Structure 1
Amino acid sequence: MTGEGKSSSGLRGRLDGPVLTVWAKHDRDSDGWLPLWRHMEDSAAVAGLLWDTWLPAGVRRLIGSALPGGEQDARRLAVWLAGVHDIGKATPAFACQVDQLANRMDAQGLEMRSQQSIGPDRRIAPHGLAGQALLGEWLQERHGWTVKQTGQFTVVVGGHHGVPPEPGQIAALHKHGQLLRTPGPSRAVWRRVQDELLDACADEYGVRDRLDEWRSVKLPQPVQVLLTALVIVADWVASNADLFPYFPQDVARSSEERVAAAWRGLDLPAPWCPDDPEGDAQELFASRFGLPPGAKVRPVQEAAVELARTMDEPGLMVIEAPMGEGKTEAALAVAEIFAARSGAGGVLFALPTMATGNAMFPRLLDWLKRLPGAEDARYSVLLAHSKAALNEDFAELMRESGHRIIAVDVDAPEEPLWRPSDKTRSAPAELVAHAWLRGRKKAMLSSFVAGTVDQLLFAGLKSRHLAMRHLAVAGKVVVIDEAHAYDTYMSVYLDRVLSWLGAYRVPVVVLSATLPAGRRRELVEAYAGGKAGAARSAAEFEAVGEARAYPLLTAVTPGGEPVLRSPEASARGTDVILERIDDSLDALVDRLTDELDGGGCVLVVRNTVRRVLETAQALRARFGDENVTVAHSCFIDVDRAAKDADLLKRFGPPGKAENRPAEPHIVVASQVAEQSLDVDFDLLVTDLCPVDLLLQRMGRLHRHQRGERQHERPERLRRARCLVTGVDWTADVPAPVRGSVAVYGAHMLLRSAAALLPHFEEGHSRPVRLPEDISPLVQTAYTDGPAGPESWAPAMAEAFEQYERHCADQAGRAAVFRLEEAGRDGKPLFGWVAAGVGDADDTRTGRAQVRDSRESLEVVVVQQRADGSLTTVPWLAPDRHGNRLAGLELSRDQVPPTRTARAAASCGLRLPIQFSYAEVMDRAIEELEGLYVPAWQVKDSHWLSGQLILALDEDCQTRLAGFSLRYSESDGLEVTSA
């Protein structure tokens, strides 16, 4: 099971004497312990099973490509490295930690000073670094390797706790040899034991006769990363005492019985192994997405499938197509083809926000259930963002997964978010939120993941256990949605991640409706480039940056030349009449009174929450509260989800939506209306914003056909019209309102106004033709050439200088913790994440590392009665099982019941930017900590432990850090100066 050279009695049969007393693990509560030889054997066996049944074929292929014996060599190497990874525990620096176990070793001649006498010097020799040194010494002295040859292999041992050693640490250890072997007579015994273990592993795992040939190998850094990650996973599994019990409880079982029982208990789902889908694009889309009778696959979808099938090998594909053209379905179809061709074992769908991730997750599940063989399949799935446990679809998967193994990360123990029931999920497609894959460092190893783009960007951030994130993405097809939505700061990380994905030969699909041509070229070059790309002429990519066709497909393989395809646009199209209107609430109210005389549904998009609320108040005075709906980012989580669901229910596509208002209705929204909501309005009013985002907003206007020539819409609103406001249009140079400038900057707003100017000119204007005008407008706004009237030039030049300084500042700050590009083959990963950020996770602090945003405060909103008691807010709807959630008492004397605590946690709220400035934030935290409930700060209270609690009074108001706060179910949070 563990490779050629395996003896009938396993590793134990090759060992005798003092080596059998060396220990690896100890449980202080039970006094159980595990010999080092046993843990080495367990880890090697697990690595072999992971290789054979869990690691995607593409990852195995990549590792094998670096070795002379291909995948057979790669398996041997992985198993051997897992076997020797803890050799550093056979040292005095480690063994002295438990007196009774140290005394047993001492009695066998392995003398050591006590932990106290070694003192702080122990920190110089953590067992990973010590193991790296011992393995390197063994390879050099016993097998004739040079120091340069050993590092690329031994760094896997040195980095198996998440951080490869730095050169300074290695040098310091060389000066303290007594930490590896006690000086004096016992030194020889220590050396004999260490060599005996390494010799036994070399023989047992079949590498002794391969070492001479491996000596000339130059392992690429991506391969070093993947081997390190595989050893980490094997170590974590083998370190789980539930799976691999300690002695003396498990001393009688054979190694084979022990490993077999553990593997059955772990029960990891196998990777996805799709066949290349048969049939043409029409058949593929009909079977995977349930096309309605008579529906035809769209040209861009057909072209994407054809291109995926004809590329030399899977690589990067950028799909640019209008909103509503089915880019998501195209990406999933391409992902299936790419996975079949590349050996990828899953899909990562990265989206800009939690809300878009939540919207994507059920679509991903539905696609999985339609895949061939789904009735017999078992897939591990994940919704990857910090509030995933509050998502009902994901929570149901977690409840129904019947796996009881509760594993923890060895060096960072953490409690699971839930404990599974005894239920099992029924076919089709057993979708499993697997218990072992629930730790924050392991979750991304799930085969199918939908989540925020942060999870992908973390792969470009120097952080602890970065190798695990790389293993997670290296085994998948990666889909990046809304690629235009990421600013310079995020793009610095995205481009670096793409360079590593290219090095791993990971297939990638990038989606956008409004991608600037320059950004398209940067994405393609980042993926195809690396060291090879730098050597090629940039001229190969000029066509990518100059292409103006739309829709457009761009494809490139790692190290290859880009390919462009221009599929026909679908027959769907809309002409949008643009009109400038004054930024006056009275003018807006009067205009909408006229426009809605015969009924209709209007979307008004504002650039700030304050403008949303001010606009809604003015409109309600004229149209009534019941005819105005508000949507923005400052709602508690459960209300935000309800808002999205309500908008889809009332304003969604024909045949799916219910109760589209017969009376005039106005939705006033912030940017939350731009992305991933399939809603359809008769008229659009929008603040001026960057042109790509304005086009996204237009995508909510006449999005669907409502009768022939839109005759089912009110007569006055049968032509699509967009009224642009938020600007003083009478000024010599358009003057956007201050809030819009604060959000987007003057440069992008003026470039947008200049690009749109031909569509505004009185007497000469023409409609914006969608989709034909999307690319010309975006490219005009995002190129550096002159735009707008000559009289605008001085103002635009000043705005551009400010924009350039801002972008340079963003790029500079992002580069501080950005991972370097993959180094030359054979260069060890020493110092790979040096000067990094420590742990990176999906918390507000973690997200701030890959997004250029001020750290925000997140609170859980509850209500406080006059008597001081706390309850959940009073308007919560019952859960899907009919259980009451509103007004449930939150006891301060004990942990609330799970349903109550979860209901409270679902009322999370991110406070607006006023609370992100240092002095205000400090004051707010201090005041919020006044409502500290000790009873909730226990490990069994994961829903509320560590949360900041914002208590509203019975009128749903409170004061915080000098501001007055008011919350309502209809309007969300309103903040005013006290």
Structure 2
Amino acid sequence: MAGLARLGSGLSVAARQVWAKHDRDEDDWLPLWRHLADSGAVAGLLWDEWLPAQVRDVIAAALPGGLKDARRLVVWSAATHDIGKATPAFACQVELLAEGMRKVGLEMPLRGQMDDRRLAPHGLAGMVLLHEWLMERYGWRKRSAWQWAVVAGGHHGVPPSPSDISELAARPRLLRSPGSAGAWREVQWELLDACAAACGVDERLPQWREVKLPQPVQALLTGVVIVADWIASNADLFPYARKAGDSSERERVEAAWRGLALPSPWQPAAPNVDPAELFASRFDLPLGARIRPLQERAVQVADGMAPGLMIIEGPMGEGKTEAALAVAEIFASRSGAGGVFVALPTMATSNAMFSRVLRWLLRLPDARTDAGARSVQLAHSKAALNEDFRALTWADLRATRGVQPDEDSSDGATAELVAHQWLRGRKKGMLASFGVGTIDQLLFMGLKSRHLALRHLALAGKVVIIDEAHAYDAYMNSYLDLVLSWLGAYGVPVVVLSATLPSGRRRELVEAYSGTCDADAVGDATGYPLITSAVRDGASAVHEVPASGRRTEVQVEPLDDDLELLADRLDRELAAGGCALVVRNTVDRVLQTAAYLRERLGEGNVSVAHARFLDLDRMRKDADLVERFGPPEAGGQRPDGPCVVVASQVAEQSLDIDFDLLVSDLCPVDLLLQRMGRLHRHQRGAGQSERPERLRQARCLVTGADWGAVPVEPVAGSQRVYQRSVLLRTAAVLWPHLTGATPAERSVRLPEDISPLVQSAYGPAPVGPPSWQQEMDAAHARYRVHIEKQRTKAESFRLAAVGRDGSALLGWIEAGVGEADDTPAGRAQVRDGVESLEVLVVQRLADGTVRTVPWLDGGKGGRALPTDAVPESQLGRIVAACGLRLPFQFTIPQIADQAIAELEEEVIPAWQFKDSSWLAGELILFLDENCRTRLAGYDLTYHRDDGLEATRVE
């Protein structure tokens, strides 16, 4: 910092007159040299106090001088990032400041005389100037120079493309005005020479000339420069000349850094790798519980390998999450990771995991005795509605002016965990040390979107945990494989969790991360539970794990898809009480089934659970399910009488619920096994003696298909959700059990049969009766075409693979999605499809009164909402928590367009002001007194207990 503090002292009058920033309100300005010095100083502090060692090591590995060279490079990259502002194309924007520059010999046209100045944005201009300077001053070759100069080019989020460079090359007057080109060059070179000397790179650049800067290093440098620039551009932290006072440059930077108060990264201490002691100190184990074999073996494997990729496959309820967190701690202590990110399939699973991770964090030690607060982020679009997350984000009267319009300006502080004010918002949230979020947040690392380098920087410093890996389709997996290859290139340790994976998918994950794979060992492994380990460009291995002793035999049988037949069977099975779970593949089938069963079994004995509820109602539903059907130690009130829950796929994951009997639509075998994991999940008395006698044997009735057809014919709704080929192969591998003559033949043994069933269903060998094969072959051919279409479609906005030749990141995200990463459009890109249309639901009464829906708990229901003003923050938050995803019909383009048009006609103008942060830009669905409305040709009816039902208007 000492050299940068003196950067302006030796400059010419002309160089000191070049401006970087202008405050129109205060009529104040900031000289370019000062902003460059500020940015470089901030970059140095980021390197010293904020960047995890894992990131620093990646940059250092590319340079001959290691960490010392790497720090110099980071500071110099930040100190030169805005050199493109020393050009006529930029300087002409403010006439008063431009005239000051003309007076010292830097001539330039008026702004109106430079219509093509948009072709020289200052990032591109700076990249070109740096490139010229490296070649002219230090004799660098053209190709090598681009690898280093591209960092300046990409500091506003989009690295320039070769066509951008060509357009600018044809207009040299945008860089240096004719008539004073010499003066411009002298000032540009003077500033660059001064930065090189101040940063200590003037003597290193000749040695760096032959260095190939790998693409991961270019991306990390760009990310650090973006962060440094954003901090140094904050006028509250770095005031302009008039407000700067008499403080020295060093005092100016130190005061800004204290005011920012960024939490330092986690520095994990090497944990005690005695597995039992480690788990006892980190997790709330039930009284008398012992560490499970899968958990113990995961810790042992992690302790014996270099940080890399670990895939943990094990049955439901084996504690894979706790194993992953323990492994993450071991990996981080060796790799220098400064945090952990956990990725899950949905917001609901993310919210549930967030609470668990917070409890773990409070017990997690740090190598530093003076470790301060840890920054934490819940990364999904509705994080602000999560109570645990909000508890970390206390409102603060301080407000620091940022440079990004989407950032939240409140501050947060608790004794140990904080959602830091500066690290919140759509672009910066992932920079927090610890995060839990939807898988989208990880997949965005492979989406060509603006400021992508920030997301790479954020994830390159962490251990990444990917949960429920079996839940992602081929489209999402194409993004995931690409992301894994980048994570491997950064040396990021990754832990993948799954109930079980097809052997081919396991091999793909290893190959994506490591670049190589022992195909025989990894692909042919049949043990279960199973741990697979791999390192970048190194060996992979598999480790079979003994089962924990927890096992369940589930007798399966087919049940024709007939509601009367289902009702008769449930009536008989639940005659002495008991709890049954009926899982349907579509919400429409859930509602139809529940309505029929209520008529037969009684209104109070049947409830539903699916995703088509208001957010608050969905949370209430989930809590109710865990309260009634959770583990015995939770102390919930399990129903005594007959009870049926009809649910969609929301019952497959995240909820620790336990039923006596399961009825499931035919679905992919790995998901069916997940559903079976909700059957006799916990021990209830010796030999399950606390369950009704008839239900002490676990049974699963498989329905949703015509079992008499050849081959079996799944119902139409299921084929809309899942591929026909996958459903047929599931039926085929289950056929020996479904048609078994004895209880033993009908039994699926958990966990022993999990892996064989999955490998057979997804493997290449023929399965099922011979009479099925012709139709199954045709369905599989259609499935292969579908998979290829998915992969091809994913390529549209997917990032290129990691370049291994040191080529520059020119055009890195060209033809990308712009700002649409964490938005509905962005999520649709990584999830193969149009995002479900989401609305906020309120009631509008006949007299025009608008209110929150009346049944909400805690005084939230029936609250009047103003229509001539922005609702106060508390009311706005209640409305925002009543989000609802409309049914799949509203993803059909013409219906979605019509619905949006109709909803926009109902917009309340007063709610659209920017200071209405909860409601601005949202679509509002108004229900009448009976909770009904009509939208885009559908009658919509909402019930607090059943959710939304949509009926096409004839």
- Which TM-score band (shorter chain)? over 0.9
Is 1:132 aligned to 2:118, yes or no? no
Question: Any idea what SS the aligned residue of 2:377 has?
Answer: strand
Cα distance, 1:180 vs structure 2: 0.9
| Matched residue type, 1:452 | T
Aligned mates of 2:536, 2:886 — CA distance in 1: 43
For 1:720-869, what aligned pairs fall within 5 Å after superposition? 720-764=698-742, 765-869=745-849
**Please, which runs of 5 or more residues in structure 2 have no aligned partner?**
none
Is 1:897 aligned to 2:872, yes or no? yes
Cα distance, 1:355 vs structure 2: 0.6
Equivalent position to 2:575, from 567, 591, 597: 597
Aligned mates of 2:844, 2:800 — CA distance in 1: 50
Moved more, 168-177 or 786-795: 168-177
Closer/same/farther in 2, CA of residues 815 and 657 from structure 1, 3 Å limit: farther
Aligned to 1:484: 470
Equivalent position to 2:302, from 308, 311, 319: 308
For 1:207-218, what aligned pairs fall within 5 Å after superposition? 207-218=201-212
Aligned to 2:383: 388
Q: Could you give the per-residue CA deviations for residues 405-432 of structure 1, whole angstroms, max 9, x where no partner exists?
A: 5353x4x52241x6347xx423xxx111
Residues 407, 426 of structure 2: 8 Å contact kept = no
Runs (4+) of structure 1 moved beyond 6 Å? Answer: none
For 1:360-375, what aligned pairs fall within 5 Å after superposition? 360-373=353-366
Aligned mates of 1:377, 1:195 — CA distance in 2: 42
Aligned mates of 1:178, 1:82 — CA distance in 2: 26
Cα distance, 1:376 vs structure 2: 5.4
Residues 661, 700 of structure 2: 8 Å contact kept = yes
For 1:171-210, what aligned pairs fall within 5 Å after superposition? 171-184=166-179, 186-210=180-204
Aligned mates of 1:723, 1:233 — CA distance in 2: 56
| Matched residue type, 1:606 | R
Residues 750, 796 of structure 1: 8 Å contact kept = yes
Is 1:425 aligned to 2:414, yes or no? yes
| Matched residue type, 2:162 | P
Aligned mates of 2:133, 2:944 — CA distance in 1: 68
Q: Could you give the per-residue CA deviations for residues 170-192 of structure 1, whole angstroms, max 9, x where no partner exists?
A: 122112111111111x2222111
**Please, which runs of 5 or more residues in structure 1 have no aligned partner?**
879-883
Q: Could you give the per-residue CA deviations for residues 848-899 of structure 1, whole angstroms, max 9, x where no partner exists?
A: 0101123321100100111112110001111xxxxx2111111110000111
Equivalent position to 1:413, from 389, 398, 405: 405
Aligned to 1:881: none
For 1:279-358, what aligned pairs fall within 5 Å after superposition? 279-311=273-305, 313-358=306-351
Aligned mates of 1:633, 1:650 — CA distance in 2: 19
Residues 475, 790 of structure 2: 8 Å contact kept = yes
Is 1:669 aligned to 2:644, yes or no? no
Aligned mates of 2:6, 2:660 — CA distance in 1: 74
Aligned mates of 1:601, 1:550 — CA distance in 2: 30
Is 1:954 aligned to 2:929, yes or no? yes
Is 1:115 aligned to 2:111, yes or no? yes
Aligned to 1:920: 895
Aligned mates of 1:226, 1:842 — CA distance in 2: 20
Is 1:458 aligned to 2:436, yes or no? no
Question: Any idea what SS the aligned residue of 1:164 has?
Answer: coil
Aligned to 1:554: 532
Question: Any idea what SS the aligned residue of 1:449 has?
Answer: strand
Is 1:506 aligned to 2:492, yes or no? yes
| Matched residue type, 1:100 | L
Aligned to 1:81: 77
Aligned mates of 1:166, 1:403 — CA distance in 2: 43
* Normalised TM-score (structure 1): 0.96
Residues 273, 300 of structure 2: 8 Å contact kept = no
Aligned mates of 2:158, 2:319 — CA distance in 1: 42
Aligned to 2:225: 231
Question: Any idea what SS the aligned residue of 2:691 has?
Answer: coil
Residues 403, 435 of structure 1: 8 Å contact kept = no
Residues 266, 405 of structure 1: 8 Å contact kept = no
Residues 76, 201 of structure 2: 8 Å contact kept = yes
Aligned mates of 1:189, 1:825 — CA distance in 2: 38
Closer/same/farther in 2, CA of residues 249 and 53 from structure 1, 3 Å limit: same
Is 1:694 aligned to 2:672, yes or no? yes
Aligned mates of 1:501, 1:524 — CA distance in 2: 12
Aligned mates of 2:553, 2:539 — CA distance in 1: 37
Aligned mates of 1:333, 1:377 — CA distance in 2: 22
Question: Any idea what SS the aligned residue of 1:317 has?
Answer: strand
Aligned mates of 2:347, 2:433 — CA distance in 1: 20
Residues 263, 372 of structure 2: 8 Å contact kept = no
Question: Any idea what SS the aligned residue of 1:769 has?
Answer: strand
Aligned mates of 2:352, 2:949 — CA distance in 1: 26
Residues 20, 85 of structure 2: 8 Å contact kept = yes
Aligned to 1:247: 241
Is 1:964 aligned to 2:939, yes or no? yes
Equivalent position to 1:168, from 142, 147, 163: 163
| Matched residue type, 1:885 | K
Residues 650, 657 of structure 1: 8 Å contact kept = no
Cα distance, 1:87 vs structure 2: 0.5
| Matched residue type, 1:159 | G
Aligned mates of 1:207, 1:139 — CA distance in 2: 12
Aligned mates of 1:283, 1:194 — CA distance in 2: 61
Residues 399, 410 of structure 2: 8 Å contact kept = no
Q: Could you give the per-residue CA deviations for residues 385-418 of structure 1, whole angstroms, max 9, x where no partner exists?
A: 0011111111121126x5945353x4x52241x6
Question: Any idea what SS the aligned residue of 1:248 has?
Answer: helix
| Matched residue type, 2:732 | A
Q: Could you give the per-residue CA deviations for residues 471-521 of structure 1, whole angstroms, max 9, x where no partner exists?
A: 011000000000001001001100000000000010000000021111000
Question: Any idea what SS the aligned residue of 2:897 has?
Answer: helix
Aligned mates of 2:836, 2:659 — CA distance in 1: 33
Aligned mates of 1:513, 1:372 — CA distance in 2: 30
| Matched residue type, 1:841 | D
Aligned mates of 1:842, 1:360 — CA distance in 2: 20
| Matched residue type, 1:51 | W
* Normalised TM-score (structure 2): 0.98
Moved more, 241-250 or 760-769: 760-769
Q: Aligned-residue CA RMSD in angstroms?
A: 1.3
Aligned mates of 1:460, 1:32 — CA distance in 2: 41
Is 1:64 aligned to 2:60, yes or no? yes
Question: Any idea what SS the aligned residue of 1:630 has?
Answer: strand
Aligned-pair identity (%): 62
Aligned mates of 1:405, 1:146 — CA distance in 2: 47
| Matched residue type, 2:330 | I
| Matched residue type, 2:491 | R
Aligned mates of 2:361, 2:454 — CA distance in 1: 25
Q: Could you give the per-residue CA deviations for residues 758-808 of structure 1, whole angstroms, max 9, x where no partner exists?
A: 111241523100000000000011012211001001111121121111111
Aligned to 2:22: 26
Aligned to 1:398: 393
Is 1:150 aligned to 2:145, yes or no? yes
